[in-house]
Structure 1
Amino acid sequence: MTKHLLYIPLLLLAFTYTSCKKVSEDIQRDAIITDSVDFEIPILSEIDSAYTLSDVKLPLNPGAAISAQLPDFNESNIKSIKLTKMSLGLFLFKGAKDKDSIDVINNFGNFQSIRFTIPGTPAVGSSTASPLLIASAIINSTSVSGALSMTPDTELELKPYVGANAANSTVTIRTRKVTNKAVKVRVRASFTVTVSK
C-alpha cells in the first residue's frame, strides 16, 4: 500500500507538467500575413551598373492583420516576424488590341540581380552597421519577364524593423541592359508572425 502511495506524487507531477506544457502551447499562435507595396524603378541608363533605390517600405502592417486573423491578440503580443516568401511583379499596360502586356524593352530581363536590404544594428562599440539582406534574386534569363520570385532570408528576425519601428529597405539593381522608361513594381511578401500571451 505504501509503495502505491509513493507513485501518487510522481503521477501528479507528470500531470502538472503536461498540463502546463499544454497551456503554454495554447497561448502561442502563428499567423501568415501577406502584404504588398509598390515602388518605381527609374530609367537605368548604364549597362552592368548597380543602382540603389532607398526608402522602399517593408510591405507589412502587422497590427491590423493580427487583429483580423487572431482576435485575441494584438501588435503588442508579437514575438517574432519572419519573411517566408517574396515576389515582384511589373504593372501591366494596355498593349495591342487592348490586351494587358509587359513592356518588351523594360522588364526583369534587363536586370542581372535584385537585392533588398535593411539597415542593420551596429555592433557594440561600433557606429556603423552592415546592411541585412532580406531577399535577393539572380536573373539568368534575358527573356521578357514580368514576374520574379525572390529568395528570402527566412531566418532573419524582422520584428525590430516593422510596425512603429518600420525601416525602409534599400533595393539594389544590377543592370544587364538599359531601360528607356520608369517601371512600376509591386512587391508581394508573406510573413510568419508568432504571437503569444
Structure 2
Amino acid sequence: MRTSSLYLALVATTTILSCTKINEEIQRDLSIPGEATSFNTPILTNIEDQVQLAVITVNPNFNTLISAGDSQFSFEDLQSAKITELKLTFSNADTTSNLANFTALTVDIEANGQAKRTVANRVSNNDVNANSITLALNNATYDYRDYLTGTSIKYSISGLLRRPTEKVLATKITPRYLVTLAR
C-alpha cells in the first residue's frame, strides 16, 4: 500500500514537472495585422523621374498587437518578425487619379539605425483603374525584427508615373506581419 502511494506521488510529481517544462518551451507563429496609416499623396506631375508619394513615420505598438493576437505572449517573446503584406489604397481615387497613373511603386523601410531596405515593389503596374494594390514583397523570408523593435518605423513610398495625377490622393498603407514568439 505504501509502495503504491509512493509510486503515485512520484508519477504525479514527474507529470507536473514535465508540464512545467513544456510550458516554458512554447513557440508560436502569429499573423497580425498592422495598423493602417493614412497620409496624403500630393499631386504628382514629373513623369521623367522617380517621385516621392510620401515619407511617413509610424509608431506601432507591437506589444498591443502581439497581446491581441495571443495573450500568452508579449513583445519580450518576439524571436522574429516578417512583413508578409503591404497594401496601398487610395480612398478617393477616380478615373483620372488612381493606381493606373503609376508604372511602378516601391516601399522602403528605415528604423533603429538599420540601413534603408526595400520591402516591396511593383515594377510593372497595369494601366487599369484601381484604388488598391497589394505590393509584391522583395523577400518574404527576411527577418525585420531589428527594424520593428524600436519605437518608430519610417516608410518611404515612391513610384514612376505613367501620367500625372490630377488631385491629392487620400492614401493608406496597411502592413501584415508574421511574428515568431517563444518563451
What TM bracket, shorter-length normalisation?
A: 0.7 to 0.9
Amino acid at match of 1:29: R
Match of 2:6 in 1: none
Q: Does 1:146 align with 2:131?
A: yes
Q: Select which of 143, 160, 165 maps to 1:174.
A: 160
- 8 Å CA contact 1:63, 1:163 repeated in 2: no
Q: 1:59 to 1:147 in 2, by over 3 A?
A: farther
User: How many angstroms does 1:160 deviate by?
Assistant: 1.7
SS state of the match for residue 44, structure 1?
coil
2: CA distance, partners of 1:82 / 1:59: 17
Structure 2, unpaired ranges of 5+: 1-17
- 8 Å CA contact 1:37, 1:59 repeated in 2: no
Q: Select which of 85, 90, 95 maps to 1:104.
A: 95
Pairwise mapping of residues 128-167 of structure 1 onto structure 2 (< 5 A)?
131-152=116-137, 153-167=139-153
Pairwise mapping of residues 1-197 of structure 1 onto structure 2 (< 5 A)?
23=22, 26-35=25-34, 36-53=36-53, 55-57=55-57, 60-92=60-92, 102-119=93-110, 131-152=116-137, 153-197=139-183
User: How many angstroms does 1:39 deviate by?
Assistant: 2.1
CA deviation profile, 1:22-64 (whole Å, cap 9, x unmatched): 9389511111111222222111012132112453235843211
1: CA distance, partners of 2:147 / 2:112: 10
Deviates more, 1:129-138 or 1:144-153: 129-138
CA deviation profile, 1:125-176 (whole Å, cap 9, x unmatched): xxxx852111111243222111212011212221122243422011111111
Task: Output the TM-score relative to the length of structure 1.
Answer: 0.72
Amino acid at match of 1:80: S
Root-mean-square deviation over aligned CA pairs? 2.7
Q: 1:120 to 1:161 in 2, by over 3 A?
A: closer
SS state of the match for residue 145, structure 1?
coil
1: CA distance, partners of 2:39 / 2:135: 16
Q: 1:77 to 1:194 in 2, by over 3 A?
A: same
SS state of the match for residue 150, structure 2?
helix
1: CA distance, partners of 2:81 / 2:128: 35
Identical columns (%): 23
1: CA distance, partners of 2:181 / 2:31: 11
